Amino acid sequence: MRSGAGMEITMKKTIITVVGKDTVGIIAKVCTYLAENGINILDISQTIVQGYFNMMMIVDMNGCEKHFGDVADELATLGEKIGVMIKCQKEEIFDSMHRI
């Protein structure tokens, strides 16, 4: 476990995943939302398998004034509009599972 005491948890990175049928402008719309909310993208990777769009972003939400839960909700709603599923999760769950 890297997380120790106190405030460290808020400095952690967030993983945003976007999964769904590929259409024009998915990345643009998600990135616009992130930019408008002061969320900085640190890394993007993306694949398309059999017409399915699969993207992951590592972002830093420290510059964002909204609560984590609200951002997660708004991204999910945005996803519904574009027809993809957008999830927003703190990085630790992946770190815990995949790193010793």
Partner 1 sequence: MDSDMINLYEVTETNKMIEKENLDVRTITLGISLLDCIDSDLQRLNDKIYNKIYDAAKDLVKTGEKISREFGIPIVNKRISVTPIALVGSAACKTVEDFASIAKTLDKVAHEVGVNFIGGYSALVCKGMTPADELLIRSIPLALSTTERVCSSVNLGSTKTGINMDAVKLMGEMILETAEYTKENDSLGCAKLVVFCNAPDDNPFMAGAFHGVTEADKIINVGVSGPGVVKTALEKVRGESFEVLCETIKKTAFKVTRVGQLVAKEASRRLNVPFGIVDLSLAPTPAIGDSVADILCEIGLEHAGAPGTTAALALLNDQVKKGGVMASSYVGGLSGAFIPVSEDQGMIDAVRAGALTLEKLEAMTCVCSVGLDMIAIPGDTKATTISGIIADEMAIGMVNQKTTAVRVIPVIGKGVGETVEFGGLLGYAPIMPVNNFSCDAFVNRGGRIPAPIHSFKN
> Under the rule (CB under 8 A), what is the footprint of partner 1?
1, 3, 5, 9, 15, 17, 42-43, 45-47, 54, 56, 58, 68-69, 72, 87-100
**Other beta carbons less than 10 A from residue 86's beta carbon:** 24
**How many C-alpha atoms does 66 have within 13 Å on its Cβ side?**
16
CB of 50 to partner 1, least distance (A): 14
- Residue placing its CB nearer to partner 1 in the complex, 81 or 99: 99
CB of 68 to partner 1, least distance (A): 6
- Residue placing its CB nearer to partner 1 in the complex, 46 or 77: 46
Query: 16 forms bridges with which residues in the sheet?
Result: 57, 88
Helix (H, G, I), strand (E, B) or coil at 96: helix
Strands (E), 1-100: 14-21, 40-49, 52-60, 84-90
CB of 56 to partner 1, least distance (A): 5
- Residue placing its CB nearer to partner 1 in the complex, 1 or 24: 1
